[in-house]
Amino acid sequence: MGQTAPARAQERIRVVATTTDLRSLTEAVGGDVVDAVSLVPANFDAEEYQPKPQDVLRLKDARLVVRVGLDYDLWFDRLLEAAAARELGRGGPGYVDAAYGIAPLEVRGVTVGPGDGHAHGSGNPHYWLDPGNAEFITANIMEGLARIDPANAKTFETNRQAFLARLSAKLTEWEARLAPLRGMPLIAYHNSWPYFARRFRLDFADFLEIKPGVPSTPSHLAGIIETMRTRGVRIVVREPHEPERDVAFVGAKTGASVVVLAASVGALPGTDNYLALFDTDVAALVQAAAR
């Protein structure tokens, strides 16, 4: 018995997060105590991810899972079923829905995912792009970790506070750097940015994609070009995995410059953690606005 205790202390808690963003935040809270992996590779469209056999194995070793929720990673429910780990399932001690407590924006319908008793709206799922929401996300992760490993609850709390302090300092810096872009109209390919826009007071005037996967129609495209001309839009935003042509087309028509922004950790070089993600995006936007 005396020998197993130190061995256990060294064994790190295996956490499986669906996205790289949640993995980064889990690492921020768990520190050395956790060993976090993410399933969707950076820059894959997480909404269209197809789990691999290895993912089931990853879940077998895991003691905690962290998901985005809000119908963003629906495939995760089937994966959890396949892994048949009851502890990790909905309502189990090893299950964290990172969206808990977050106010979803642009709720238009009712969730299509498996229900768990109370009504969920299916709002815009890109809530991690508001750094302010990291407070909720890390709280959810911390709670989950403390359930699994109560002995380290203090460590998680300390880690989280330290991270939030760094984030808060960074947030002030980002807000100051983006202040010149306040109210400046932008166009994006996909509606990934409402939370980001709310935090930094940006105005995403329209989106090239009508619905996910449906390309623009002629009059929609004409409407966007019209909006861009009348409102003087100078920046078109696309994510690395979105079609280059369509964005370049409206850019060329109106003289606006195209900015590639990462919506997830690791989607662009230099975005390997949650803070670096915003550093990179803020720098790209500021540079484009100065052009």
Partner 1 sequence: MTEALGFLWPSFVVAVCLVGIHAYFGIQVLARNVIFVDLALAQIAALGATVAFMLGHPAQSLATYGYSLTFTLLAAVLLAFTRAWASRVPQEALIGVIYVVAAAASILLIDQAPQGAEHLKQILTGNILTSGLGEVTVIVPLYLAVALVHFLLRHRLTKSGSLFWEFVFYATFGMVVTSSVALAGVLLVFSFLIIPAAIGVMFASTLPRQLAIGWIAGILTSAAGFAASFAFDLPTGAAIVCAFGAALALAGLIYPFVRGNRLVALKITVNTVRWGVAALIAGSAIQLAVTSRADQPLLDMLEHAAPSLRNLYFTKAEAAAYQDANDYAERHRLAAEQLIELERRSRTQGEPLDEAAVQRISSFLKSYAEMRKGEQFVMSEVRARARERVGWIVSLGLLAAALLLAPLPWRRLWTRFSR
Contacting partner 1 (CB under 8 A), which of 31, 44, 47, 157?
A: 44
Contacting partner 1 (CB under 8 A), which of 88, 267, 285, 288?
A: 267
Contacting partner 1 (CB under 8 A), which of 119, 230, 290, 291?
A: 119
| Contacts with partner 1, 132-171, as mask; x by CB under 8 A | x---------------------------------------
Contacting partner 1 (CB under 8 A), which of 3, 10, 219, 230?
A: 219
Q: How many chain residues touch partner 1 (CB under 8 A)?
A: 52
Name which of 47 and 155 has its Cβ closer to partner 1. 47
Interface with partner 1, residue 24, by CB under 8 A: no
Interface with partner 1, residue 114, by CB under 8 A: no
Two structure tokens written together for 159: 């880690």
Two structure tokens written together for 290: 């100065």
The number of beta carbons lying within 10 Å of the beta carbon of residue 161 is 13
**Which residues neighbour 146 within 8 Å (Cβ) at sequence distance 6 or greater?**
152, 153, 156
Interface with partner 1, residue 106, by CB under 8 A: yes
Interface with partner 1, residue 10, by CB under 8 A: no
Name which of 104 and 131 has its Cβ closer to partner 1. 104
DSSP state of 183: T
Contacting partner 1 (CB under 8 A), which of 222, 232, 255, 287?
A: 222
* Interacting positions 196-215 with partner 1 (CB under 8 A): 197-198, 201-203, 210, 214-215
Per-residue exposure over 201-215, b if at least 16 CB sit within 10 Å of its own CB, e if not: ebebebbbbeeeeee
3-state SS assignment for residue 40: coil
3-state SS assignment for residue 109: coil
CB contact at 8 A, 138 and 160: yes
Residue 218 CB, shortest distance to partner 1, in Å, is 4
N-term to C-term CA, the chain: 66
Question: CA 206, CA 228: separation in Å to the nearest integer?
Answer: 9
Residue 151 CB, shortest distance to partner 1, in Å, is 33
Interface with partner 1, residue 244, by CB under 8 A: yes
For residue 269, the one-letter residue type is: P
Bridge partners, residue 186, by sequence: 204, 235
The number of beta carbons lying within 10 Å of the beta carbon of residue 291 is 9
Contacting partner 1 (CB under 8 A), which of 221, 258, 276, 289?
A: 221
Question: CA 29, CA 160: separation in Å to the nearest integer?
Answer: 5
Binding site for partner 1 (CB under 8 A): 41-45, 103-110, 119-123, 132, 182-183, 194, 197-198, 201-203, 210, 214-222, 225-226, 240-246, 248-249, 253, 266-268
